[in-house]
């Protein structure tokens, strides 16, 4: 069997946890922050898990797990 390639765009955006779930950051947290409330910016800073419906998609893109 040939080797599988890691999807580099996905690898830069998500990390796999020790339990095998995928962790991601929030969008809208990089610029034009002056118009956003402090509470909103604080909540955008916290990482969250990838939704269950997208998890299989990331498993296919990142075949070798944790890096």
Q: Tell me the pLDDT tens digit for each residue of 14-47.
A: 999 999 999 999 999 999 999 999 999 999 999 9
CB 54, CB 10: distance < 8 Å: no
Checking if the pLDDT of 7 tops 70, the result is yes
Q: What's the pTM?
A: 0.83
Query: Is there a domain that residue 20 lies in?
Result: yes
Containing domain of residue 50, as a range? 8-61
User: Looking at the 3D structure of the chain, how many domains does it have?
Assistant: 1
Check: CB of residue 4 under 8 Å from CB of residue 63. yes
pLDDT value for 1: 86
Report yes or no on 2 lying in a domain.
no
The structure tokens listed for 33 are: 């922050």
In angstroms, the CA 20 to CA 41 distance is 28
What's the confidence (pLDDT) of residue 67? Answer: 59
CB 38 within 8 A of CB 29: no
How far apart are the C-alpha atoms of 56 and 1, rounded to whole Å?
A: 21
Residue 41, domain member (yes or no)? yes
């Amino acid at each position: 069997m040939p080797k599988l390639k890691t999807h580099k765009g996905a690898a830069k955006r998500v990390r796999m946890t020790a339990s095998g779930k995928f962790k991601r950051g929030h969008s809208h947290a990089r610029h034009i922050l002056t118009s956003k409330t402090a509470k909103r910016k604080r909540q955008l800073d916290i990482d969250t898990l990838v939704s269950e419906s997208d998890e299989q998609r990331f498993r296919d893109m990142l075949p070798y797990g944790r890096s």
